[in-house]
Structure 1
Amino acid sequence: MQCPRCKNTDVAYFYKGSKGYYCRKCIKFKRILLEEELEVFDVKEIKEGISEYTLPFTLTPQQEQVSKQCKEAILHQDVLLHCVCGAGKTEITYRSIQQALDLKQKVAFSIPRRQVVLELGKRLQSVFKDCKVITVCMGHTEELDGDLIVLTMHQLYRYPKCFDLLIVDEADAFPYKGNEVLKNIALNSCKGHIIYTTATLDEYLKQRVQDQSIAYLTLHRRPTNALLPVPRVITLPNLFLWFYLLYRLSRNQRKIMLFVPTIAMAKRMYKWLKLYFRIDYITSETEDPQSILMRFKHQQIKVIITTTILERGITISDVDVYVLYANHEVFDEASLVQMVGRMGRVAPFVKGDGILFCNAYSEEVHRCIKQLRRSNEVSMVYE
């Protein structure tokens, strides 16, 4: 037995109802009987003359080269865009999107988080002005078909064998990372090829690179042409760690993103630090994170306390990054690289003061520093 949607073969997940066997592993995406054919999504034909796009800036020579390589490779195989944080992964895919639309192919851009879907949808519509861009995520499921569909990964179940080009953004991030159900639903939605974009590789992508089953393209330099900021590591006992954090916050005149490992800690830190600083916090429980981010961007707030919810998909100029208890088990190499990757993304603020506050040695912290230094070394070699 095999589920036609998530490809599960574990008999423990199959249940026999009155109409036959169905899979409980992916039942939250709508029940489907094993004997059923997946309902094919009825897509409208792509019109001609909608593929032109306009960028408000010029790609760097390095971005141009990777963009052209991606466009050529995606015709024949899946592509992995392994680019450092802030290298412009989204813009590099535009040529491939244009090519697919010219061929009247259906394109989707899947993203881990709902808020980023809504933001990217607006961004892509401003670039592909003649193309109908729609967003599909929680609260936005009234319209399901367009020329270019931007959606969360959980919404891919609606589109079996639909897309000729599927872009999986941040393929190593939650909830896609390690989730066999979502991975197989994504594969099931694509009848063509997939572009995976990320700054940090998980084991699945590493294995595909090793097997040479995917075109592997890299970009180790940001458009600003500056090296990646490498954070300092401060290891102290708990009490001294907190005093040193308070000292650094009081001395720093720039905006600061303070990452903490848990929601409970974010709330405690907010109650304590709001006595001394203009501060707010964002977690997965925050009802209106955008208003807080706007206040932060306009310097109405000096410090924003957050969890891994803001480790990706956000660009703020002139910001420093502090990670409290960077050695916590919640943080791995990938999340640490992504968090410190919020620094130095916008010229002229290409440098940043990043600090990883630890109360014990961490192998993940060590790997994070090693990866950032290696990226800088590689970018200087190819300069």
Structure 2
Amino acid sequence: MSELQSMAAEKISDLVGRAGELLVWAVCGAGKTEILFPGIEKALRAGLRVCLATPRTDVVTELLPRFESAFPNVAVQALYGGHSIIESPSQLILSTTHQLFRIKEAFDVMIVDEVDAFPYSYDESLQFAVKKACKEEATRIYLSATPSENLLSRVKKKDLDVIHISKRFHGHSLPVPRFEWCGNWKKGLKNKRLPKVLFDWVKERLFSNRQCFLFVPTVKHLDDVFDCLKDHGSVDFVHAEDPDRNEKVNRFRKGEITMLITTTILERGVTVPKIDAAVFGADHDVFTSNALVQIAGRMGRSIEDPYGEVVYYHYGKTRAMVSAKQSIEQHNKRTSDQVDA
């Protein structure tokens, strides 16, 4: 682990076994999962029960094999929609936050990954479910690349301890998004046409077999974009209600699909080593600053390909777009300052 990762891992381990809260504010690709392992190992050796909860099913399914590999002597259980039966008591459970409604005072250590993600950050009942699933003196750890204003306010008031990891594990900067004007994209889609600048970007990746995400604002936009691209190469789509969602995401991870068109449901939780991304209609209000930061954070996560490209295609810059780019640049400056020091 990097020096920053090691410091965070040590702080987490020190807290395990004691009542307390800690926010781990780490940029996308900082290696948040790895810094949990020493603390989880300490908890398991002490006979404590550990839960890692997250709002997104995709995060659970991605983390499961990593935890099974890290803790081969522990029966790791995953709870999410369609897989919600606890066959036997386990010390280590990965769960969506929705599944915790039926669990009460079970865990000594509660780790909430992607604590800022929808719907957890907006749904107080989910937050209550997480709290209810903890024992009274539980250790609570929150992970986020884009903490909410509420969490940052608690940090400012010294009501919540925090450790900040502003550098990716491989030492390279976060990819900075590029803005590309694409005209009235909504009008074009009604006529079953994509902007030429976007179509050229997509063709270049499909021709070179370079994997990429194409994020769109809504399922309706997704259907229209897929109709425009389905005959041009290895292209598929996925959204929250897609019955084949898990299968498609797994095929994409394996490299069997070159381009995956998706909504913000995959703004986090899916890691592919060598990948680019475009946000089509980045000026749509569904793309908040945090969502755009998370999307950019999908790129450059491997040592073999630490850069990647992310482009926001728009019909006019929004505050969210500008804020997301500024946030990423500030993280990169903080990293540079740490290196210079």
1:204 aligns with 2:145: no
Aligned residue number for residue 213 of structure 1? 159
Aligned residue number for residue 9 of structure 2? 67
For residue 96 of structure 2, the aligned residue among 144, 149, 152 is 152
| Inter-partner Cα distance in structure 1 for 2:163 and 2:236 | 39
Aligned-partner SS, 1:382? helix
Report the TM-score, using the length of structure 1 for normalisation.
0.80
Displacement over 6 Å in runs of 4+:
none
Aligned residue number for residue 246 of structure 1? 199
| Inter-partner Cα distance in structure 2 for 1:141 and 1:284 | 18
Mapping of residues 60-139 of structure 1, within 5 Å: 60-74=2-16, 75-139=18-82
- Considering fraction of residues, name the structure with more helix: 2
**Shift in CA distance, 246/197, structure 1 to aligned 2, threshold 3 Å:** same
Mapping of residues 161-310 of structure 1, within 5 Å: 161-190=105-134, 191=136, 192-238=138-184, 242-252=195-205, 253=208, 254-310=210-266
| Inter-partner Cα distance in structure 2 for 1:317 and 1:118 | 17
Asked if 2 retains the 8 angstrom alpha-carbon contact of 1:73 and 1:215, the reply is no
Report the TM-score, using the length of structure 2 for normalisation.
0.90
Aligned-partner SS, 1:176? coil
Aligned residue number for residue 334 of structure 1? 290
- Tell me how far 1:141 sits from its aligned partner: 2.8
| Inter-partner Cα distance in structure 2 for 1:141 and 1:216 | 32
Structure 2: 5+ residue runs without aligned partners?
Answer: 189-193
- Tell me how far 1:299 sits from its aligned partner: 4.3
Aligned-partner SS, 1:131? coil
Asked if 1 retains the 8 angstrom alpha-carbon contact of 2:51 and 2:94, the reply is yes
Equivalent residue pairs, number? 325
Asked if 2 retains the 8 angstrom alpha-carbon contact of 1:260 and 1:325, the reply is yes
Asked if 2 retains the 8 angstrom alpha-carbon contact of 1:321 and 1:354, the reply is yes
| Inter-partner Cα distance in structure 2 for 1:244 and 1:332 | 23
- Tell me how far 1:264 sits from its aligned partner: 1.0
RMSD: 1.8
| Inter-partner Cα distance in structure 1 for 2:252 and 2:9 | 33
- Determine which structure has greater relative contact order: mean sequence separation of CA pairs < 8 Å that are 6+ residues apart, divided by chain length: 2
Q: How big is each residue's C-alpha offset from its partner over 1:146-167, in whole Å with a ceiling of 9 and x where there is no partner?
A: 1111111011122222211100
Aligned residue number for residue 45 of structure 1? none
| Inter-partner Cα distance in structure 2 for 1:317 and 1:130 | 28
| Inter-partner Cα distance in structure 2 for 1:288 and 1:87 | 30
Aligned residue number for residue 316 of structure 2? 360
**Shift in CA distance, 140/97, structure 1 to aligned 2, threshold 3 Å:** same
| Inter-partner Cα distance in structure 2 for 1:255 and 1:134 | 31
1:188 alignment partner AA = K
- Tell me how far 1:297 sits from its aligned partner: 4.2
- Tell me how far 1:365 sits from its aligned partner: 0.5
Asked if 1 retains the 8 angstrom alpha-carbon contact of 2:59 and 2:268, the reply is no
Structure 1: 5+ residue runs without aligned partners?
Answer: 1-58
Highest Rg: 1 or 2? 1
Asked if 2 retains the 8 angstrom alpha-carbon contact of 1:82 and 1:218, the reply is yes
